[in-house]
Amino acid sequence: MNAVDAPAPETRARIKKKSDKPWQVVVLDDPVNLMEYVSRVLTNIFGFSREKAEELMMAVHQKGRAVVWSGNREKAEMYVNQLHSAQLHATLDKAE
Amino acid sequence: MTVGPTVAGGLKLVPETEHDWMLLIGIAGDSDSDLAGRLAGLMDEDSMWDEIVAPELAEEFSKQRITVVKEVMRAKEEEDEIHILKGSVDVWYGALNQARLALEDKYRFGAREDVDPKMLEDSSARAAYFRNNFYSHIQGLLLQYVMGD
């Protein structure tokens, strides 16, 4: 078995910094889900105000995607599960 | 078919012809049973979404389709109206959405204003387009009259 050198301190710091980045819940645009429905789902799942939900819905519609939540992976997966259950196209991303 | 809101806060569908009944029964036929798998395809492999989440979602989506077909068949046999109330609106909305997602996946209609008229020269695509618009219209009415606060 070959010995594996431990990463240099700077590398360790970079790895730690990357793994500390929060996970993002991303909603993707699709031509099927009605805009009002998307707003309603975002309100129901995340508790957003109507204004906030509509703002995010418009971002999804115009930019093709929007980050709607960020935090730890476990909770982000729970939210994506709920979005999929509502038949919205959603995924997880690591924050840049 | 007559469609309208009810005083109970629901939506009433009154099919009048055999074609109307076939249109409603077709909601399940248009749906794609692999929606859960396609949504899982948006996730990375580390999440094991295929194995853990997708089967549960597939079951949930299947229940929506079965419930809607059963209700349509019951109403047809009893020559009854169909009432969609708050308690069942998510099931109906979900089944209609499944049908629309599957039609979109198959025909790529895109946004209504972007539909290529040449595509609609094909009779099956044209029929699918009109069914898609009908489903979308019912969804709009559900949002307006049943899913509201």
Query: If DSSP codes are grouped into helix, strand and coil, which group holds residue A27?
Result: strand
Among candidates A58, A50, A53, A88, which has minimal Cα distance to A69?
A53
The per-residue pLDDT for range A12-41, each reduced to its tens digit, is: 555 555 567 899 999 999 989 999 999 999
pLDDT mean over A59-80: 96
Nearest to B143 among A37, A84, A85 (CB): A37
Nearest to A32 among B44, B97, B140 (CB): B97
pLDDT mean over B8-17: 96
Structure tokens at B111: 């946004």
In degrees, rounded to 5, the angle at the alpha carbon of residue A57 between the alpha carbons of residues A52 and A61 is: 150
Residue B149 has pLDDT above 80, yes or no: no
Nearest CA in chain A to B52: A81
Hunting for tokens 């809101």 — which residue is that?
B5
- Phi first, then psi, for residue A87 (nearest 5°) are 70, 25
B89: Cβ–Cβ under 8 A, 6 or more apart, which residues? Answer: B10, B11, B142, B146, B147
* CB distance B28 to B68 below 8 Å: yes
The per-residue pLDDT for range B55-85, each reduced to its tens digit, is: 999 999 999 999 999 999 999 999 999 999 9
Nearest to B94 among A30, A40, A87 (CB): A87
B102 Cα to chain A: minimum distance (Å):
10
* CB distance B69 to B82 below 8 Å: no
Q: Does B109 touch chain A (CB under 8 A)?
A: yes
Strands (E), A29-64: none
Hunting for tokens 């307006």 — which residue is that?
B144
Whether the ipTM is more than 0.85: the answer is: yes
CA distance B120 to A71: 45
